[in-house]
Amino acid sequence: MNYRQLSYAVVLLVFASSLLIVIKPYLEIESGGGIISGEVIKLPEPRLQGSMSLEEAIARRKSIRSYRNEPLTLEQLSQLLWAAQGVTHEKKRSAPSAGATYPFEIYVVVGNVRGLKPGIYRYDPFEHAIALVREGDYRRALQKAALDQAWVGNAAIDIVLVAFYERTTGYYGDRGIRYVHMEAGHIGENIYLQATALGLGTVAVGAFHDDRVAEVIGTDGDPIYIFPVGVPR
């Protein structure tokens, strides 16, 4: 191989590496790093007006760890997932993201939702739908992975925020790690406020074994937060 051929090879390698960095986040949006079974459930359209004002939801917001053994509705699940990461306008999402890199995938561990079989689902914000990852009630398994916190196992659902850091660090380098953590806070507050507006309770859970939570929900991303949601006692 002469010098010119070697130069071409190096340029091609650099181009291929750069292209992979650019398209990898979009490939991961499709797969979510999960074990997708293929069953997809279209969610009811989210409501853009509710009976509680934003100001009242902020005033009433608090952490709630005790829930009744009552099911959520599919409409409530739809509203919560839309608030967490739904598409709002111009393909933007409900929570701000540095450079619109959107490093989070939203999983929901369903145990007690009317009309929906128990299982682990991944939220698709563009279709406003959930894809079944694993069938069965995994709330107790998630509870054990979360240091046996009872509210994780007793909630009707658990919303799990899973980060794919490279979507953001690919653009911002190590500084992107901080941006990912900021975004987790944005999403979490949206979940809190929407739950409050729906008359539901939730609590932010950050104490868990990362690898065990990832194993339970079936992802190669990094779990950051768990939000149990249920009807308050």
| 10-residue averages of pLDDT along the chain (233 residues) | 46 40 37 52 93 94 96 97 93 93 97 96 96 97 98 98 98 97 97 98 98 97 98 96
Listed by start position, the domains of the chain span: 1-31, 33-230
Residue 224: predicted pLDDT:
98
Residue 90: predicted pLDDT:
80
Residue 1: predicted pLDDT:
52
* Tokens at 195, concatenated: 């739950």
3-state secondary structure of 110: strand
DSSP secondary structure, 127-163, as one string = TTEEEEEEES--HHHHHHHTTT-HHHHHSSEEEEEEE
Residue 161: predicted pLDDT:
98
Q: Which amino acid makes up residue 95? A: A
The whole-angstrom separation of Cα 230 and Cα 221 is: 26
Residue 89: predicted pLDDT:
85
- Architecture in CATH for domain 33-230: 3-Layer(aba) Sandwich (3.40)
The mean pLDDT value of the chain amounts to: 87
